[in-house]
Chain A
């Protein structure tokens, strides 16, 4: 079964750090671009970051640039999101998503989401 499973969410104080993981299975992980998308409580989807298939190319939303770092370990079929200098406005469910092969920024497989709460 093709699936993505996030972990690492939780409660963190403003200014703190957290690292999310996304374990992939059921497909050749190293062939795919991967993304992080977040959704604040009761709000819409917001794209956060992406990495190309070998991790050599990354991109970030302006709101997280310089604070978040996306990486991947293709040997372990795992995607990561290192989040530093966290702010209250980073509170959201964070989804990892797979970019569909042959399409452009079409996310065809999503994880179940990891809740990140930034609060004192």
Chain B
């Protein structure tokens, strides 16, 4: 069982917006603004999409945005495109015995 909880799957049609949630505890998501989001296409390495809750690295589309409320972080993708279909993982710094915890991943299907 992963330390952070994500929905197993979400789906949306092209042009729509979707939101993926990532729920942790006060020891990780709720306690620190060190949440990141990664996109992973099949057979590929993950790609950083959001860091420090809501910051986008250079080159990442502004259709991707991040936010946090309490112990839950969220990734929103607006204007869905076919190439957005991938697995998405959240991660957070944690004050427990391990430095970083990941969510179990969410498979995004673009209908």
* Nearest Cβ on chain B to A23's Cβ, whole angstroms: 15
Asked if B69 is at the interface of the complex by the 8 Å CB criterion, the answer is: no
Q: Which of B10-48 contact A (CB under 8 A)?
A: 32, 34, 36, 38, 40, 45-48
**What total count of A-B pairs have CB within 8 Å?**
69
Interface residues on A, range: 20 to 34
Residues of B within 8 A of A95 (CB): 45-46
Contacts of B64 in A (CB 8 A): none
Decide yes or no whether A46 CB sits under 8 A from chain B: yes
How far, in angstroms, from A47 to B45 measured CA to CA in the complex? 14
Q: Does A27 contact B (CB under 8 A)?
A: no
Q: Max chain A CB contacts within 10 Å: which of B48, B55, B101, B104?
A: B48
**Which residues of chain B in 84-111 are interfacial with respect to chain A, using CB atoms and an 8 Å cutoff?**
89, 91-93, 97-105
Contact of B2 among A44, A59, A61, A112 (CB under 8 A): A44
Q: How far is the CA of A27 from the CA of B32 in the complex (A)?
A: 28
**A110 and B49 alpha carbons, distance in the complex (Å):** 13
Q: Determine whether A75 belongs to the interface, using a CB cutoff of 8 Å to chain B.
A: no
- Say whether A100 contacts B99, CB under 8 Å: no
Q: In chain A, what residue has the closest Cβ to B45?
A: A110
Q: How far is the CA of A47 from the CA of B102 in the complex (A)?
A: 7
Residue from B48, B99, B103 in contact with A59 in the complex, judged by beta carbons closer than 8 Å: B99
Q: Which of A30-51 contact B (CB under 8 A)?
A: 35, 37, 44-47, 50
Residue of B nearest to A4 (CB): B45
As a 0/1 sequence over residues 83 to 120 of chain A, the CB contacts with chain B under 8 angstroms (1 = contact) are 00000000000010000100111111011110000000
Residues of A within 8 A of B (CB): 35, 37, 44-47, 50, 59-62, 95, 100, 103-108, 110-113
